[in-house]
Structure 1
């Protein structure tokens, strides 16, 4: 059975990001779904201690179980609001902790540092029209996953959430699902 890893970046359990998670899950009923909210995960930041340059993993063990699920996933879907033009701090801390894999690749020669390839999607919501920020956030993940044996294949962006001036676009949601799964014309 394939595995979908959902990484939520919003602190709001009834926010737009969480609603989108609820909308996406039914399309993956054939997969094992593992979900983490980065606020509940409360990751410590990377401190550039350089442990991972010489050893597998991280000196800080708080994300070990998360990274086991991360490595085992076939699909990874990020759901995040835009905070101050970028990812919220806990999600940014998780991304910074990808350093363990960059060190595995570039310091210890692991090619690739994660054996299982991944299809990655990102759902970004913003209070105002922050398309340029969403583009930058997506580009950040694209660059990261070139090292992590993954490919960002899908993005769904919803602006205007602060004033309630947004709609859930079912066509865009379907496109996101098909691109993430690698199905149909979006392949």
Structure 2
């Protein structure tokens, strides 16, 4: 990674960002570096443009997602959410995960039940996600930010399984 994603997209290095500015800065940079603008140039310049485009796309996708943004900020603060010492998940959250998975398996062919489960999980996700800005504002409780970010990753996985089940029903 050559340039801090926040710097690359001309945004302050904070959890709470202006998504409209993110989109505007992304579009502006893309216009400048799009590979089509370099089609008539030497191969080295074409390759450099493609690499820069990929880097800008990666930065944009990372900062656009609150969960990926939290992971990235933790990375910038030398906090690894995948470190063994950060792998523990609270018992009550594990139990909640098991309940959701059981409900998913029980209602795999029931569209209404799956949609209700998805809605309930989304509410839970929103409650958990609302904690993140506070952790990053003062860079305090970054270990709690890791815990919350890991929980959100679990939730995203169950949401994907529910979406997959809904697609199979259709």
TM class by smaller structure = under 0.3
TM-score (norm 1): 0.24
TM-score (norm 2): 0.25
More strand by share: 1
